[in-house]
Amino acid sequence: MSIIHKYEARASSINSLICIGLDSDYDRLPVQFHDEEHPQFAFNKWIIEQTHSYASAYKPNMAFYESRGTQGMQELKLTMDYIQANHPEIFTICDAKRGDIGSSNNGYVTSVFDWYGFDAITLHPYLGREALMPFLGREDKGCIILCRTSNPGSSEFQDRRTKKGKRMWQVVAENVAEEWNENGNCMLVAGATYPEDLEIIRKTVGEMTLLVPGVGAQGGDVNKVTRVGLNNEGLGLIISASRSIIFAESPSQAAQELRDAVNNY
């Protein structure tokens, strides 16, 4: 059974399509955490305890841990161990945006899936399916391919039209849906900031699950995303917010509000 069912089971059981991004930038942590031995881990533990009832997934972005060298990596590992010990039913996504040639990708597979123990990873499509086979071949894990990213400048290459009139992100969506997904473990990133494109992606990929960043601090519209993004089972979306939840005055309330905004649609 595909690892994506782990997410779906959790989402159905708590009635929430929300993913919380653990983008725990050390410089933005409330000052009381700076005195802890493991400040990022202590903060994450506090966030998880406040938000786990609303969270179907947690998604730490590697950049905020790597910035502190081995100490940050250790605190991310502690965070993963904590989630696995206390909330093993919650889906975990490593927002690493990796993508190398095949022989190097083996190293990332070992790191992200086996050493940290993540359920899924975000990946760049630029090197093609052949290079990403070490990830795609792991039937027990999820591969979330960048398709239409949420950032303001994402059109530079992603919106280039091919000879046949398709934009690059459409080509990525088609190839992943038609050729990459033989293990049923592929998903796509489709930013909330481009809801018209998200709608086309949904039509292109059938029931495939989409990771949707860009609500919250980046300004994506939850109603639009939910309206055009759900699949026929009322699932198929992982709606992710990071800064707007973890740095809110009440992370618990912010997570609940986002869940309700999605469910109210």
63 binds its own copies (CB under 8 A): yes
Task: Give the interface segment with its own copies, choosing from 3-11, 12-20, 90-98, 135-143 (CB under 8 A).
Answer: 90-98
d(CA 163, CA 229): 27
37 binds its own copies (CB under 8 A): no
Which of the residues are catalytic? 97
d(CA 247, CA 180): 37
At position 107, the amino acid (one-letter code) is G
Options 23, 51, 91, 222; binder of its own copies; rule CB under 8 A: 23
Let me know: does 83 contact 58? Beta carbons within 8 Å: yes
CB closer to its own copies out of 16 and 60: 60
Burial 204-236 (b: 16+ CB within 10 A, else e): bbeebbbbbbbbbebebebebbbebbbeeeebb
Options 15, 66, 184, 227; binder of its own copies; rule CB under 8 A: 66
Helix (H, G, I), strand (E, B) or coil at 60: coil
CB closer to its own copies out of 70 and 264: 70
CB closer to its own copies out of 68 and 87: 68
Site for its own copies in 67-86 (CB under 8 A): 67-70, 73-74, 77
Site for its own copies in 227-256 (CB under 8 A): 243
- For strand 237-241 and strand 142-148, is the pairing parallel, antiparallel, or unpaired? unpaired
Residues binding its own copies: what is the number (CB under 8 A)? 62
Question: By rule CB under 8 A, what string of x and - marks binding of each residue 91-110 to its own copies?
Answer: ----x-xxxxxxxxxxxx-x
DSSP codes of every residue in 82-125: HHHHH-TTSEEEEEEEE---HHHHHHHHIIIIIIS--SEEEE--
Give whole-number Cα distances, 108 to 122, 158, 221, 244, in Å.
11, 25, 33, 29
Site for its own copies in 136-195 (CB under 8 A): 146, 149-158, 160-163, 165, 168, 171-172, 175
Q: How far is the CB of 264 from its own copies (least distance, A)?
A: 28
CB closer to its own copies out of 54 and 180: 180
Residues near its own copies (CB under 8 A): 23, 25, 61-70, 73-74, 77, 95, 97-108, 110-112, 115-116, 124-131, 146, 149-158, 160-163, 165, 168, 171-172, 175, 243
